[in-house]
Amino acid sequence: MAEPAPPSDELSVTGIECFAYHGVYEREKREGQVFLVDLVLGLDTRPAAASDDLHDTVDYGSLVAQVRAAVESDPVDLIETVAERISGVCLLDSRVEWVRVTIHKPGAPIAATFADVTLTITRPTTP
């Protein structure tokens, strides 16, 4: 019987602030708004722990820059589209086994008092 794979380690970066022009309404596209992004990456950190070398793990500084660029470019209507775009950026690194992306849209155009609107997606690496 094959031994089960060990569970992934998790690397999180939360509260990545981006300013972008996503939204269904013309005001959102014209004025823009703040979006916050939380990332959780599943990966095996043992190689990096053994070598103590940044090249053996995900460079989260570079990843954050790539995620911000993905959010702040090419406006779309839905945060679902933005979340999918972010997951694709994160999964470009072959060491990432899966990614969980949460997008916060605290300035969503809702006619009520509310704290936040979020969307969370989880995507595996495609085999």
Pairwise CA distance, residues 79 & 82, whole Å: 5
Is 105 an annotated catalytic residue? yes
Q: Which residue from 85, 80, 77 is spatially nearest to 26, judged by alpha carbons?
A: 77
Q: Count of alpha carbons within 13 Å of 98, Cβ hemisphere only?
A: 10
Secondary element (H or E) of residue 72: helix 60-72
Q: 87 near 99, Cβ under 8 Å?
A: yes
Secondary structure class of 26 (helix, strand, coil): helix
Annotated catalytic residue, options 105, 106, 113, 122 = 105
Q: Which residues are catalytic?
A: 105
